[in-house]
Every structure is written in structure tokens, then in C-alpha cells.
């Protein structure tokens, strides 16, 4: 927005100086010319000093106040800019209508919406319909009215400075956080407030990270394996903390002015950063990435030609990584008119629910500058109308870089509000209406059952409602650990698989869960393929007292089909089990019929029936007590056992 306003003031300045000066004091004009040269060379303090000398000689020198207005605009000194414009209007209230338009913009940027409306209205009264800023003035009045409404209806907001372990005398901003809330990465402008002798130290953007231990953020440390002598910033970390996307500019391997880069965390260390490549990066400006919780979609900002305005928000599918470790991308997609505008949309953050997007815009109705908005995805190409997140989260200053944790309650952003040392990172509880859908997470370790050694396995969460993979990850590197998002409101099949091992099966029934739940902390012991080994198929389902397979069972049975195809020397027995509700004969028949249905399904899937047999055990082999509903549910199960290898 600052750049846009500068163009207006420069235009006014040029118009004024194409004419003769308003003063005939030769000495004043000579000093003014010197001030003009200093201004054009960006020596603003020198120019202001000379302009003050001019005003001593001629207090009515109109062009002096116009140049001062320009300088204060460049320095973001809005109060002084307003003062200069008001003095200019006292000298020439009727001749230069554009000054009222400029004054309106300055009032708007300082949060004085009534005064801004009055200035814009005066401009409109003084010009005809063909004047250059008529449309902008009318839109600005609408914005002022909207901002006044926001000001009169504040939202609940109480920010908390995150303390000295995160914040310092330097500027800190752009926080990102893992789904478990235990790891934060942020950008620090190192050297922004320090000096060496009489010389100001060259400030540099670097990444810092902190761990949450016993509810206390530990002293932050630099990400030395990623930080360079150049600037790194505007980062996004994946839910499991294993993948980092960020922005870097003017690099040798860059494709445009700024590009998106990535690094992967392997064995606790970050890999050498690489350019994310085509088509995410282009000869244009790309920045501010945000990776979705499932790791399949990257949101980012670009000003490429096919956009809607200045900076637009785009998304691109991440289909995985090649054998050489490079990302494999789909085609970039503009988020469209429901999000992007003729103005600038920046700092996207897609929440772990996969549906709620937070971003900043200087065009959607707001308080001034960049405001934070949120919207929700209706389908792949349509989003709900963006809602201003409200005052006082937004103010007449620029707000950007908001992130929200998995619960949807806690938000983080940076601000230079009173009490901070420059830009500091703050946390606050997000009010209910602006919250995303809460998500939980699964955190676990995969080990060999016999040795306890970590196992690098494929970990997958599948939506039982539509059979689509929600998240697929790995438990690789030295610890065998994994961390994945778990959205509420659905039922999921959870599988862990590794060549040479039986696959692991689990089920999460969260369809009725709407509020945040405790995370699942798992230790998964993988069984090597050997005779006697068995797997409970927790995602094979039947209606009560029925042996007809429910459609949701197909996901699990496909896993079993894949397993037998990959291990074509393995023979299995399919076993059916029931609880003790009903008589023994009925349960025996039911368990055998269910095992037979699974057998038939496997045959129809191409598995040779000679490699399988089926048996029903009724309620003779319980794995839990039948005295509770939970125990009876565990006893009602289908499993398979290796009988020959």
C-alpha cells in the first residue's frame, strides 16, 4: 500500500514542479532546489533541514509542504505527513483538489476514518466525473465506513508477548509451528537493532527455532544448516517438522527475483536447501509458502502475469519427491476471484483442517494497510467470502503472517505494538467465530517387535467415507518416529507397512468428535513375516448380526490383497471372532460366515484360493473382557494368521 500511495504523492509533486513556484523569493527557491536534489538522492534528513530553512524565508512556499509530505510518506511518518498536507491546503484550499485525496489516504492510514471520509468527499465535490481518482475516492469512502463499523464492534483479543526466549532486541516475525505445537520456527532480522562502533551492522534475515518443554519455550537457536550469508524468510514447516519451505531472493540458482526453496529434515539434520523448481517458481516473484497438513498442496504468493491483480495466492499439488529428491509438482492454480483481487493478497496460511485459509489483503474492506482475513473452502475451486478477522487484531497498520495451532484456539503473529522491542512474536486466543475446525494428531514410533530397533515404514491415514488417502508419511531416519495431523469429524483407517513385515492396522472413529481431543501417542511394534504371525483387520466391518461386508471394508482388504501379492509364498488363515452376546451356535455360524465372506472377497480380488482358508471361532478366543461395550467391540474382529511361508 505504501508503494501505491507513493505513486500518488510523486504524481502530485511532479505536477507542482512542472509549473512555476508559488514563491518569488530567489534565495528560498535556490535552497529549495538544493532540498529537491537531496530528496531525489534519498537524503531525506538533509532535505527536511533545507526545507525548514526555506520556510523561514517564505512560510507560504506551497511546494515545500508537498515535498515534506512526500518525504514523510517515504518514512511512514503519517502524522507529520497529515500536518504538511493541511498546511498546504491552508495556502491553497481551492486550487488543488488532489491534495484532499492525498489527505484522505493519509487519514485512512492513521486510522482516522471520519476525517478520511470528509477529505475524500471534499475531493469528489471539487472535481468532475472524469477526474483521475474519482473511483478510488468512492471506494475509499466505502472502506472507511467498513473500518468504522469494525472499530465499533471489537472482537475478543488479548495478546501475550512470547518472552525473551523467542523475542530479542532484533525484529522477530513470521512464526510457523508443527501440529503438536512443540516446535516453532520463525524469522529473525539479525542485527536490526545492534551497532558495531559508529557503523550500523548490516541486518540479515535468518531462521531460528525453539522447542516447547514443560509448557515453556526454550531459548531459540539458529537453523545453521539452512541459514546463509544471504536472507532467508517467510517459511512454512510441515505438520511433522520434516519439510521446510521458505523464500530466498537473488540466488544464483533462482528463476526470478524471489523463489521458493525447500529442505528436508533427515536424521535430525536439515538437508542442503534446494530451489523448489518449476512450475512453482517462475521468472516472476514467488514467496510466502504454506504447506497443507497432508503435505500434498503448497500455497504461495506470486505476481505472475496470469493473476488477478498485484500479488495473488496460488496453490500447487505436491505429488511426492523424485528418486533424486526433487519435488514433483502439478500445475499451479490461482485461488480465483473468491480470494484474489485487483489489489495484493499475501501471507497465506492453510490450517491443518485443510479448509480454513488465513491471509492478508490490502484490497478487501479493512482497517487500512494489510488486514488479516479468513475464508473456508467450499470445493476445490471456490472459497467462502473472506471475513475480516476484526479489530483490534487488525489495526490501521499492516498485519500479516498469522498462524493458528491444531486446536484452532491459539494464534501467533508478529506486531510492533506498545511494549515490544521492534517486531515481536505474540500469541493470543482466537475468538470462536474465526477458529478453524480443530484437529488432533497421531505421534508415534515404529520399531521391530523383536529387537526394538527403529523401522522406516510407510504410514498412511485413509478416510473411510471416500476411500481417499488423507496423509501418507514415513517413520524414517534414526528414531523411526512419525507425526501426522488427524482431522476430526470423520472415520479413518490407519495402516503402517514395511517390506518384510506384516502390516499394522488401526481405526479412529472420530465422526462424532467436534471439539479438540487428546492426541494419540503410539508405539507400533512391527512383526516380521513368519508362521504364526497375525494381524487384526480393524477396518473390516459388518452390520450387527450380519456377515455382509460393508463398503468401508474395501480399503483394508485392498491392503491385504497388496500384501499377499507382494509376498506370493505366504499362505494365510482368515479368522472370524464374535463377542458373547447371543448363544454359542449362533456366534459360531456368524464368525465362520464373516471369515468366509472375506475369503470370497480375496478370491474375487485375484488371490489364489489355495493360499487361503477360513475358520470361525465364535466367542471362544476373546482378546478383552465381554463385560464392557469397549471389550465386546475388541472381541468382534476379523484377523488373518500366517500358516505357511
Across the range 209-216, mean pLDDT stands at: 94
Strands, E, within 55-166: which ranges? 159-161
* Whether residues 253 and 232 fall in one domain: yes
Residue 551 has pLDDT above 80, yes or no: yes
Q: Does position 4 have pLDDT exceeding 50, yes or no?
A: no
Say if residue 559 is in the same domain as residue 518. no
So what's the pLDDT on residue 115?
Answer: 96
Count Cβ atoms below 10 Å from residue 633 Cβ, excluding itself: 12
Read off the pLDDT of residues 293-346 as tens digits, 9 standing for 90 and up. Answer: 888 899 999 999 888 889 999 999 999 888 888 999 999 999 999 999 999 999
How far, in Å, are 105, 160, 423, 572, 640 from residue 207 at the CA level? 35, 22, 15, 52, 49
At residue 197, the pLDDT reads 46
Within a domain: residue 162? no
Whether residues 229 and 304 share a domain: the answer is yes
Total domain count, the chain: 4
Nearest to 557 by CA among 511, 593, 595, 610: 595
Q: What is the pLDDT of residues 127-183, one digit of tens each?
A: 999 988 999 999 999 999 999 999 999 999 999 999 999 999 999 999 999 888 899
End-to-end CA distance of the chain: 69
| pLDDT at residue 614, as a whole number | 97
Within this chain, do residues 260 and 379 fall inside the same structural domain, yes or no?
A: yes
Same domain, 486 and 536: no
Can you give the pLDDT at residue 624?
94
Residue 158 lies in a domain: no
Would you state the pLDDT for residue 201?
A: 57
Over residues 194-199, mean pLDDT: 49
For residues 86 and 227, state if they share a domain.
no
Q: Examine the domain organization and report whether 524 and 535 are in the same domain.
A: no
Residue 306 CA to residue 334 CA, distance in Å, equals 8
User: Are 101 and 196 contained in the same domain?
Assistant: no
Helices then strands, each counted (H, E), the chain: 11, 36
Residue with the bigger pLDDT between 450 and 17: it is: 450
Last residue of a domain, one of 528, 552, 580: 528
**Could you tell me the CATH number of the domain that includes residue 266?**
2.120.10.30
Residue 157 lies in a domain: no
Structural domain including 572 reads 531-645
* Confidence tier at 195 by pLDDT (50, 70, 90): low
Q: Return the CATH number at 547.
A: 3.30.1330.60
Judge if 289 and 407 occupy the same domain: yes
Per mean pLDDT, which range of 90-94, 207-211, 620-624 is the poorest?
A: 90-94
* Whole-angstrom distance, CA of residue 65 vs CA of residue 531: 90
pLDDT recorded at residue 225: 86
The set of residues, in sequence order, having a beta carbon less than 8 Å from that of 5 and lying 6+ positions away, is: 73, 105, 109
pLDDT in tens, 23-64: 999 999 999 999 999 999 999 999 999 999 999 999 999 999
For CA atoms 55, 56, 57, 59, the dihedral sign is positive
Count of Cβ atoms closer than 10 Å to residue 130 Cβ: 6
pLDDT of residue 242: 86
183 vs 237: CA distance, rounded Å: 9
Q: Assess whether 479 and 587 both reside in one domain.
A: no
What average pLDDT does the segment 516-539 reach?
Answer: 93
Instruction: Note the pLDDT of residue 194.
Output: 60
Nine-digit cell at 456?
522406516
Q: List, for residues 382-417, the tens digit of each pLDDT value.
A: 899 999 999 999 988 888 889 999 999 999 998 877
Give the pLDDT confidence of 241-266 residue by residue, as tens digits. Answer: 889 999 999 899 999 889 999 998 87
Entry pTM = 0.84
pLDDT higher than 70, residue 605: yes
Provide the pLDDT confidence category of residue 5 given band limits of 50, 70 and 90: very low
- pLDDT mean across residues, the chain: 90
Residues 563 and 517 in one domain: no
- Would you say residue 431 has pLDDT above 80? yes
> What percent of the chain is modeled with pLDDT above 70?
95
Residue 488: what pLDDT? 87
Q: Which of 528, 543, 573 is the last residue of a domain?
A: 528
Residues 520 and 542 in one domain: no
Q: Give me the residue label for grid cell 518416529.
A: 481
> Residue 11: pLDDT above 70?
no
Domain boundary among 480, 501, 528: 528
pLDDT confidence bin for 14, thresholds 50/70/90: very low
Taking the C-alpha atoms of residue 528 and residue 173, their distance in angstroms, rounded to an integer, is 48
Amino acid at each position: 500500500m505504501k508503494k501505491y500511495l507513493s505513486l500518488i504523492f510523486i504524481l502530485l509533486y511532479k505536477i507542482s514542479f512542472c509549473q512555476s513556484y508559488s514563491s518569488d523569493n530567489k534565495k528560498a527557491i535556490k535552497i529549495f532546489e538544493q532540498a529537491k536534489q537531496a530528496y531525489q538522492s534519498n537524503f531525506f534528513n538533509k532535505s527536511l533541514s533545507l526545507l525548514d530553512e526555506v520556510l523561514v524565508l517564505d512560510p507560504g512556499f506551497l511546494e515545500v509542504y508537498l515535498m515534506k509530505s512526500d518525504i514523510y510518506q517515504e518514512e511512514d511518518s503519517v502524522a507529520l505527513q497529515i500536518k504538511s498536507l493541511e498546511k498546504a491546503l491552508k495556502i491553497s484550499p481551492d486550487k488543488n483538489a488532489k491534495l484532499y485525496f492525498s489527505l484522505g489516504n493519509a487519514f485512512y492510514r492513521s486510522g482516522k476514518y471520519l476525517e478520511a471520509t470528509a477529505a475524500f468527499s471534499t475531493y469528489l465535490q471539487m472535481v468532475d466525473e472524469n477526474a483521475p481518482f474519482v473511483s478510488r475516492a468512492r471506494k475509499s469512502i466505502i472502506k472507511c465506513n467498513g473500518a468504522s463499523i469494525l472499530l465499533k464492534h471489537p472482537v475478543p483479543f488479548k495478546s501475550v508477548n512470547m518472552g525473551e526466549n523467542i523475542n530479542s532486541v532484533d525484529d522477530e516475525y513470521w512464526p510457523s509451528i508443527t501440529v503438536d505445537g512443540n516446535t516453532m520456527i520463525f524469522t529473525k532480522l539479525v542485527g536490526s537493532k545492534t551497532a558495531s562502533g559508529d557503523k550500523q551492522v548490516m541486518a540479515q534475515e535468518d531462521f531460528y527455532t525453539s522447542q516447547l518443554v514443560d509448557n515453556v519455550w526454550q531459548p531459540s537457536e539458529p537453523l545453521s544448516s539452512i541459514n546463509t550469508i544471504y536472507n532467508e524468510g517467510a517459511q512454512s514447516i510441515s505438520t511433522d517438522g520434516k519439510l521446510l519451505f521458505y523464500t530466498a531472493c537473488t540466488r544464483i540458482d533462482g528463476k526470478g527475483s524471489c523463489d521458493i526453496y525447500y529442505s528436508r529434515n533427515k536424521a535430525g539434520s536439515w538437508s542442503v536447501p534446494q530451489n523448489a523448481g518449476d512450475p512453482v517458481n517462475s521468472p516472476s516473484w514467488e514467496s510466502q509458502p504454506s504447506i497443507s497438513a497432508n503435505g500434498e498442496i503448497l500455497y504461495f504468493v506470486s505476481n505472475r502475469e496470469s493473476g488477478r491483480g498485484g500479488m495473488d495466492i496460488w496453490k500447487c499439488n505436491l505429488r511426492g519427491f523424485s528418486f533424486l529428491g526433487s519435488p514433483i509438482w502439478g500445475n499451479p492454480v490461482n485461488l480465483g476471484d473468491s480470494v484474489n483481487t485487483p489489489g495484493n493478497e499475501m501471507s497465506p496460511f492453510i490450517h491443518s483442517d485443510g479448509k480454513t485459509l488465513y491471509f492478508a489483503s490490502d484490497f478487501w474492506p479493512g482497517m487500512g494497510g494489510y488486514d488479516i482475513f479468513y475464508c473456508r473452502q467450499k470445493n476445490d475451486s471456490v472459497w467462502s467470502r473472506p471475513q475480516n478477522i476484526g479489530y483490534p487484531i487488525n489495526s490501521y497498520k499492516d498485519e500479516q503472517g498469522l498462524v493458528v495451532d491444531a486446536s484452532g484456539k491459539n494464534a501467533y503473529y508478529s506486531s510492533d505494538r506498545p511494549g515490544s522491542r521492534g517486531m515481536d512474536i505474540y500469541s493470543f486466543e482466537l475468538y470462536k467465530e474465526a477458529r478453524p475446525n480443530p484437529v488432533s494428531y497421531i505421534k508415534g514410533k515404529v520399531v521391530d517387535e523383536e529387537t526394538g530397533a527403529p523401522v522406516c515404514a510407510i504410514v498412511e491415514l485413509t478416510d473411510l467415507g471416500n476411500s481417499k488417502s488423507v496423509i501418507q508419511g514415513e517413520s524414517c531416519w534414526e528414531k523411526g518416529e512419525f507425526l501426522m495431523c488427524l482431522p476430526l469429524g470423520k472415520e479413518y483407517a490407519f495402516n503402517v507397512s514395511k517390506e518384510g513385515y506384516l502390516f499394522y492396522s488401526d481405526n479412529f472413529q472420530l465422526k462424532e468428535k467436534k471439539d479438540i481431543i487428546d492426541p494419540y501417542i503410539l508405539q507400533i511394534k512391527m512383526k516380521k513375516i513368519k508362521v504364526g504371525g497375525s494381524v487384526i483387520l480393524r477396518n473390516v466391518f459388518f452390520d450387527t448380526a450380519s456377515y455382509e461386508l460393508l463398503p468401508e471394508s474395501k480399503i483394508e482388504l485392498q491392503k491385504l490383497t497388496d500384501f499377499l501379492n507382494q509376498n506370493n509364498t505366504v499362505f494365510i488363515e482368515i479368522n472370524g471372532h464374535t463377542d458373547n452376546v447371543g448363544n454359542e451356535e449362533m456366534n459360531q455360524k456368524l464368525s465362520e460366515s464373516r471369515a468366509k465372506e472375506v475369503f470370497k472377497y480375496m478370491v474375487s480380488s485375484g488371490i489364489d484360493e489355495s493360499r487361503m482358508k477360513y475358520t470361525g471361532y465364535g466367542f471362544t478366543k476373546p482378546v478383552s473382557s465381554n463385560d464392557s461395550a469397549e471389550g465386546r467391540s475388541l472381541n468382534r474382529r476379523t484377523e488373518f494368521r500366517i500358516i505357511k511361508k
